[in-house]
Amino acid sequence: MSNIYFNESVILLNLEAASKEEVLKIMGDNLLSYNLVKESFIPAIIAREEEYATGLPTAGVAVAIPHTDVDHVQRKAISVGVLKDAVEFGVMGDDKETIPVRIVFLLAMDESHSQLSLLQQLMGVFQTEEALMSILNEKNKTNIRSLLEEKLDFGVLEGEK
């Protein structure tokens, strides 16, 4: 199994978009350009977000974690998008509420049930206001990469099945 793909090329800063669909299109197109996902990923992730919203009212700044079925993924990746202006995402588990999101963690997962530790660590980041604020205000992609690599321990994945 390949390791997770995560580096500066999938960190998008100052992302300008008018809607969540546009955010997903831009971030999805970027993953597609690195052959990390199939073309079907983009319509699939937009449809999934519409049906099962992923906005989370986290401390300090709201995030969203769009993801979709494994069939659309070529290689496991996490893409980070820091939005120039907040974009409304639906709140997870709620069919009416929306929340202004500034950081999007787009998850391209290549198999079910195999990424528990990484996901738990990612949720750990969401629960740390300081970490989210650092990502939000950081201008340098490499610093964001380092911050997340420190928190997320991507190395763990190599040992997993």
Partner 1 sequence: MAKKQVLVACGAGIATSTVVNGAIEEMAKENNLDVNLVQIKITEVGGYVDSADLLVTTAMTQKEYPFPVINARSFLTGIGTAATKEEILTALQK
Based on CB atoms, which residue is closest to partner 1, 92 or 157? 92
Based on CB atoms, which residue is closest to partner 1, 68 or 79? 68
Q: Find the binding residues for partner 1 in span 3-62 (CB under 8 A).
A: 48, 51-54, 56-59
Reference 74, options 114, 120, 47, 110; nearest CA is 110
Q: Find the binding residues for partner 1 in span 99-158 (CB under 8 A).
A: 107, 109, 111-113, 115-116, 119-120, 123, 126-127
Residue 123 CA to its chain's centroid (Å): 11
Count of residues that interact with partner 1, criterion CB under 8 A: 31
Based on CB atoms, which residue is closest to partner 1, 51 or 150? 51
Provide the H-helix boundaries in the chain: 20-33, 41-51, 116-126, 129-137, 141-152, 156-159
Task: Give CA separation, 121 vs 3, 84, 125, in Å.
Answer: 16, 25, 6
Beta carbon of residue 57, minimum distance to partner 1 (angstroms, whole number): 6
Kindly state the helix (H) or strand (E) to which residue 104 belongs, with its residue range: strand 98-108
C-alpha span between 58 and 16 (Å, rounded): 21
Does the protein bind partner 1 through residue 79 (CB under 8 A)? no
Task: Give CA separation, 58 vs 1, 77, 83, in Å.
Answer: 32, 22, 16
Based on CB atoms, which residue is closest to partner 1, 29 or 69? 69
Beta carbon of residue 110, minimum distance to partner 1 (angstroms, whole number): 10
Beta carbon of residue 91, minimum distance to partner 1 (angstroms, whole number): 8
* Interacting residue ranges for partner 1, rule: CB under 8 A: 48, 51-54, 56-59, 65, 67-70, 91-95, 107, 109, 111-113, 115-116, 119-120, 123, 126-127
